[in-house]
Amino acid sequence: MNEVDLLVVGGGPAGAAVAALAACSGKTTLVVERARFPRDKVCGEFLSAEGCRVLERLGVLERLLAAGAVWMEGCRITHPRGPRLDVALPALGANGREALGISRAKLDTELLSVAAARGAEVLQPWEATRAVVEDDRVRGLKLREVGGEATREVRAKLVVAADGRRSMLARRLHPHLGDPRRSGPRSWFGLEVHLDAGGRRLASRIELHLFDGGYAGIGPVEEGRLNLGMIVNVATLRACGGSPARLVERRLLTNPFLREAIGDALPCSPWKSIGPLRFGPRRAAASGALFVGDAAGTVDPFCGEGMANALCGAELALPYVLDALGQGELTDEIAARYEHAWRQAFGRVTRRVRRLGRLLERPALARPVLSLLAGAGRGLAPRLVASTRTDWSR
């Protein structure tokens, strides 16, 4: 189809969920995804309770649990020279507290299959190369088959950009808000690998371990694996010869709590990287296009809200998507209402988390704060963890 109601760029959690919800409403929907699923991504692979409820409403949660997704109830934060802070995950209203450890390869494949089952057409592997802009509004996209020669131009009443932090449309419409194009010694990169836990029992929690030059997150996913993700600055990575394995040995394993969590687990996947990174709100709408997930704003990964924000953001966007399709385009009035709703749901907490992220990026400053939280009894630490979460309920 070369004319559709809704054209979604990106088949990850935000894009697949928007497409599934819109297709259920009888709208002709096309999803363009540049990768062939299943595929891995740099991600903490932690889904908080808010996102789990969205999966439940989409009919995906039970399938993921059957595939080996792991329930988690707590979190641990440590400093290489102490202290250790153990906190139960916060219960937010009807969403509960239990979170899920699930690989992006499994989650994204299941979600996109739901979108297709509900009537959305899925193009894989195709990519959007250029926006079709008329009268300063996005009216469609130029598409190209990845690894092939086929091209298409697809027009739509509404284009939704769900293609992540390096969104093609975001770079075209507001490039100053995206990830930096160049890196320096203080730039931040994300690294990730899966570890084979060798059949040992894994803790039902997500762990955040600080080290000199960044921080690492560890959590269980399906098939007895651990996800090890890191945020590290370029200077630290260069000091380790650019080798993630050497970084683990020289910096991460100096944290005894992290060393205990990893044990003798060995890598069972290639290392993946992404960067340089910039965190914070971006734009939720521009030039007649609507943005969801990381394309609208990128939350610091330490809080574990990236996947949940993508799914909750899709539900948040749906009424505005349907209003726009009813009007034949995303009018300025609908765009303004959506921008306001997005800022209320995600903007303030994303900025708050960014301020905490700057603290965690400096272990010397983070240590006294962790000591204070560890010694403050049961009330302060849970409230701090809860302050990083978006209490989304439909």
- Examine residue 119 and state whether it is found in any structural domain, yes or no: yes
Give Cα 7 distance to the centre of its chain: 21
Whether 258 is in a domain gets the answer no
- Predicted confidence at residue 95, as pLDDT, reads 78
Q: Which two tokens stand for residue 81?
A: 């020279």
How many helices (H) does the chain have, and how many strands (E)? Answer: 13, 21
Q: What is the CATH number of the domain that holds 121?
A: 3.50.50.60
| pLDDT at residue 5 in the model | 98
CA 315 – CA 293 distance, rounded (Å):
11
Q: Which residue has the tokens 């009813």?
A: 326
Residue 65 lies in a domain: yes
Residue 249 lies in a domain: no
> Could you tell me the residue range of the domain that residue 334 belongs to?
3-72+98-180+278-358
**Alpha carbon distance 314, 307 (integer Å):** 11
Cα–Cα distances in angstroms (integers) from residue 160 to residues 11, 111, 168, 244, 245, in the given order: 11, 17, 11, 35, 38
Q: Is the CB of residue 42 less than 8 Å from the CB of residue 191?
A: yes
Q: Which residues of the chain have pLDDT under 50?
A: none
307 located within any domain: yes
Whole-model pTM?
0.95
d(CA 92, CA 255): 31
**What total number of domains does the chain contain?**
1
Kindly state whether residue 335 falls inside one of the protein's structural domains.
yes
Of residues 279, 189, 194, 195, the one with CA closest to residue 236: 189
Residue 215 belongs to a domain: no
- Residue 378, pLDDT score: 61
**DSSP secondary structure letters along 35-100:** SPSS---S---EE-HHHHHHHHHHT-HHHHHHTT-EEE-EEEEE-TTS-EEEEEPPP-GGG-S-EE
Tokens of 108: 């994204």
